[in-house]
Amino acid sequence: MGKVSLEGIEFHAFHGVFSEEKKLGNRFTVDIHVETDFKKAMLDDDLNETVDYSRIYQIAKSHMEEPVKLLEHLAHLMVQDILSAYPKLQRIDIIIKKHNPALGGVVNYSVVKVSYPLDYQN
């Protein structure tokens, strides 16, 4: 088992509930960690036997370009598309940070973390 991660992916996007967030947008940072068996990739030096992190990046980017109200929903959409691309993944962790959320005080960022399979069990 191994882990492939993308950390500190930066976007300017328009996610949020409030009209100001939808109009002005905000800075977001996304971290994505996936766990899979990539022993064959290690031995054979074959990208097809692991997770292509450029594809993971494109999935995140496409979802950051489509505004939603809740970061929880955004993370869920990313998990679903990553699982569609890589159904054998053992675990996915997605962390989304909204920088300087408009809360009336100094807050560096709000954070949502969604984990598959833990957050998807009934």
CA distance 89 to 82: 9
- Contacts by 52-56 with C-beta closer than 8 Å and gap 24+? 53/4, 53/6, 55/85, 56/4, 56/6, 56/32, 56/82, 56/85
Question: 9 φ, ψ to 5°?
Answer: -70, 125
Q: Could you list the active site residues?
A: 98
Answer yes or no: are the C-beta atoms of 115 and 82 closer than 8 Å. no
